[in-house]
């Protein structure tokens, strides 16, 4: 199959692939721009950034590409609306929002004409999103890395949600190959979102030690933890995830970064430690099939392989 274009609002991606916005600081300008240059949609992960940092990353991405650049932001973040407003002021192409649901973001998008794309895990929420003015929805199944909104497989969700809404739907969770993309398009999706494959790319802002850690992951290393956000999260087993699965890890200093926090551990600090390469004491979010990734590749090569695999897919 020759992969179709993906249209979200008035933005057109030549390749129907959105690179997942992985926080904290895994998806920055360099990765997002590399993806956009290949015809996909590159996302900068805004959660955990200051307004100035986000502004800098968006401007840097713009200097590296003329392709489609968006942000991903956690609804659970206290600075959610503020960061969206900053991105809109900078002329961002679209906003993808997950880890919770907000009605307010649709108003912000309407004012500026910025497409708002919520991450949903049910037909009900997809319908509500469409009625509120969503330009598209990312449908995330239980196979995804990071915060999870469901225990249902993406393969079951796509047909249900396709039947429920007319707006573009983007399949997320466990997408790694061109064959996967073709499978989801055949199920009714308009495109896919891929996180883990791009976390393990040369342009990803993960420290080399974290990228090496992804490559060592085995199927039995994938665990689900309870995030302070109030959602389950899919991660790779390490001493830190073992600790938080057994109980709380005391917080020495709270930055008050979430609208509502369970305080069982500090998620921002835990994700930052992983991003910086501390794979013992950091929280390593990853998708269910991270073990299938065997090498760190440049984004250009990832896209070349996806297109090649799609061309010969059944």
Pair 101, 114 in one domain = yes
Pair 306, 161 in one domain = yes
* Sign of the torsion angle spanned by Cα atoms 210, 212, 151, 69: positive
> What number is the average pLDDT over the span 143-171?
97
* pLDDT over 90 (residue 314): no
> What number is the average pLDDT over the span 196-202?
97
Rounded to whole angstroms, how far apart are CA atoms 22 and 283?
13
Pair 76, 175 in one domain = yes
Rounded to whole angstroms, how far apart are CA atoms 180 and 191?
11
Give 74's strand partners: 98
Report the share of the chain in percent with pLDDT over 70: 100
Task: For residue 24, give every residue at least 6 positions away whose Cβ sits within 8 Å of its Cβ, in sequence order, or none.
Answer: 45, 47, 48, 268, 271, 272, 275
188, part of any domain: yes
* pLDDT over 80 (residue 6): yes
The tally of domains found in the chain comes to: 2
The mean predicted confidence, pLDDT, of the chain is 97
Pair 274, 253 in one domain = yes
Of the candidates 97, 95, 119, 120, which has an alpha carbon nearest to the alpha carbon of residue 109? 95
The reported pLDDT for the residue numbered 221 is 97
Pair 123, 41 in one domain = yes
Query: What's the domain range around 272?
Result: 208-290
98, part of any domain: yes
Give 118's strand partners: 97
Report the share of the chain in percent with pLDDT over 90: 98
Rounded to whole angstroms, how far apart are CA atoms 104 and 73?
14
As separate numbers, helices (DSSP H) first and strands (DSSP E) second, the chain gives 12, 13
Pair 135, 88 in one domain = yes
Q: Find out whether 67 and 96 touch, Cβ atoms under 8 Å.
A: no
pLDDT per residue as tens digits for the range 93-125: 999 999 999 999 999 999 999 999 999 999 999
């Amino acid at each position: 199959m020759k992969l179709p274009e993906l249209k979200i609002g008035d933005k057109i991606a030549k390749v129907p692939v959105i690179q997942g916005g992985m926080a904290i600081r895994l998806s920055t300008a360099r990765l997002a721009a590399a993806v956009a240059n290949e015809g996909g949609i590159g996302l900068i992960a805004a959660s955990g950034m200051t307004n100035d940092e986000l502004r800098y990353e968006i401007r840097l991405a713009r200097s590296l590409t003329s392709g489609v650049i968006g942000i991903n932001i956690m609804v659970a973040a206290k600075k959610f609306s503020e960061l969206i407003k900053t991105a809109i002021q900078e002329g961002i192409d679209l906003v993808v929002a997950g880890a919770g649901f907000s009605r307010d973001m649709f108003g912000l998008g309407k004012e500026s004409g910025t497409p708002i794309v919520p991450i949903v895990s049910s037909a009900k929420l997809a319908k509500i999103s469409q009625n509120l003015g969503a330009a598209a929805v990312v449908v995330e199944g239980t196979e995804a890395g990071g915060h999870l909104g469901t225990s249902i497989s993406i393969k079951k969700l796509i047909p249900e949600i396709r039947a429920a809404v007319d707006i573009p739907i983007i399949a997320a969770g466990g997408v790694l190959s061109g064959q996967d993309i073709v499978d989801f398009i055949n199920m009714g999706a308009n495109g896919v979102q891929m996180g883990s494959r791009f976390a393990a790319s040369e342009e990803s802002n993960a420290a080399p030690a974290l990228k090496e850690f992804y490559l060592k992951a085995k199927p039995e290393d994938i665990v689900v933890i309870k995030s302070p956000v109030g959602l389950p999260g899919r991660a790779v087993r390490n001493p830190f995830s073992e600790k938080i699965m057994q109980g709380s890890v005391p917080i020495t200093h709270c930055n008050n970064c979430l609208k509502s926090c369970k305080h069982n551990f500090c998620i921002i600090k835990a994700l930052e430690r992983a991003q910086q390469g501390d794979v013992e004491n950091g929280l390593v979010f990853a998708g269910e099939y991270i073990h299938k990734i065997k090498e760190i590749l440049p984004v250009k090569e990832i896209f070349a392989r996806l297109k090649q695999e799609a061309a010969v897919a059944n």
